[in-house]
Structure 1
Amino acid sequence: MVPERVSLITIGAKNLPALRSFYQKLGWSELEISSDHYCVFTTAGVLLSLFPLEELIKDSGLESVETTSGFKGITFAINVDQPQQVDLVTDEVRAAGGKIIREASDAFWGGRTSYFLDPEGNAWEVAWNSTAEFDARGAMIRF
């Protein structure tokens, strides 16, 4: 049986120092395993790692990846506890250099949401959902 968990998400970085700097500006903490060639940030649920794109291609056994700046069909999400936190987080992301692609607004499904791109075009949603529940570490346990 395959365990029902996501433990680590790795983003293939085109410019590791610049992308690392962005996440540091968000105030995210790195694990000691981080080095000049790889970094790992702690989050409430999974670890987020940044690894040079060309090295990730080699490690995965792929020959290449699509590197256009268009939407990759994947989003990451930061879910918050209160609706006003969507606005606050969006402002902090903007100050750290993130590109806001959808300003904070009420969502058709009853929550509040915004979207941003990190410096390499990875799409993130900031969302509040009234039914979301989090454990003591802040990991989402109910959506």
Structure 2
Amino acid sequence: MTMAATPPLPPRMTLVTLGVADIARSTAFYEKLGWSKSSASNENVTFFHMDGTKLGLFGRSALADDARVENSSGGFSGVTLAINFDSEQEVDAAYDHAVSIGAKATKRPEKVFWGGYSGYFADPDGHLWELAHNPFAPLDKDGQMELPE
């Protein structure tokens, strides 16, 4: 019996990012829910630990700009889904695979302002996926992001 090759785009989600109007207000709300904020958070982004994945809060306009989509109710839902990878090469391979099967390219992977590497594509219904390598949040043995407590 032969083992199936690992797909270039693994069936996992490492991060859901919500584009929010006010990061401080949204952070306070989720903290009041009792959720645990990561020390990797700063004034521009907040990360929360969740079972099996992470939640990010990022400015809605900045998130739309990062994905290179129009920040409007018809052009941007305010939500992105992310899969993180161990290397820039894996990001490129996954991105190329997604585009080759019909994903709409919105941002080719590139080095980004926060020190990582990422790109975005949209699925057939316009849902945005970010493919990223974050050298500050390595992946554990299950492919999930490791963030400091």
TM-score (ref. length: structure 2): 0.50
- Specify the alignment match of 2:94 in structure 1: 89
Number of residues of Structure 1 aligned to a counterpart in Structure 2? 86
Aligned to 2:112: 107
Contact 2:120 2:131 in 1 (8 A): yes
Corresponding position of 2:77? 72
Among candidates 120, 125, 129, match of residue 120 of structure 1: 125
Q: Which has the higher contact order (CA 8 A, sep 6+)?
A: 2
Q: Deviations over 1:59-93 (max 9, x none)?
A: xxxxxxxxx75210000001100112221111011
Deviation digits for residues 84-142 of structure 1 (CA, Å, limit 9, x no counterpart): 22211110111121111001111111111100000000011111111112222111122
TM-score normalised by the chain length of structure 1: 0.52
Partner of 1:19: none
The one-letter code sitting in structure 2 at the alignment partner of 1:72 is: S
- The counterpart of 2:12, out of the listed 43, 56, 59, is 43
Counterpart amino acid of residue 129 in structure 2: W
SS at match of 1:105: strand
Q: Which runs of 4+ in 1 moved over 4 A?
A: 25-28, 44-47
Question: Structure 1: how far apart are the matches of 2:142 and 2:108?
Answer: 28
Quote the Cα distance in structure 1 between the aligned partners of 2:94 and 2:146. Answer: 21
Q: Which amino acid in the other structure matches residue 122 of structure 2?
A: L
Rounded to whole Å, the distance in 2 between the matches of 1:121 and 1:26 is 21
Superposed CA RMSD: 2.6
Do the aligned partners of residues 126 and 96 (structure 1) sit closer, same or farther apart at CA in structure 2, a change above 3 Å counting? same
Q: Is the 8 A contact 2:8 2:93 kept in 1?
A: no
Percentage identity across paired residues of the two chains? 36
Correspondence for 2:62: none
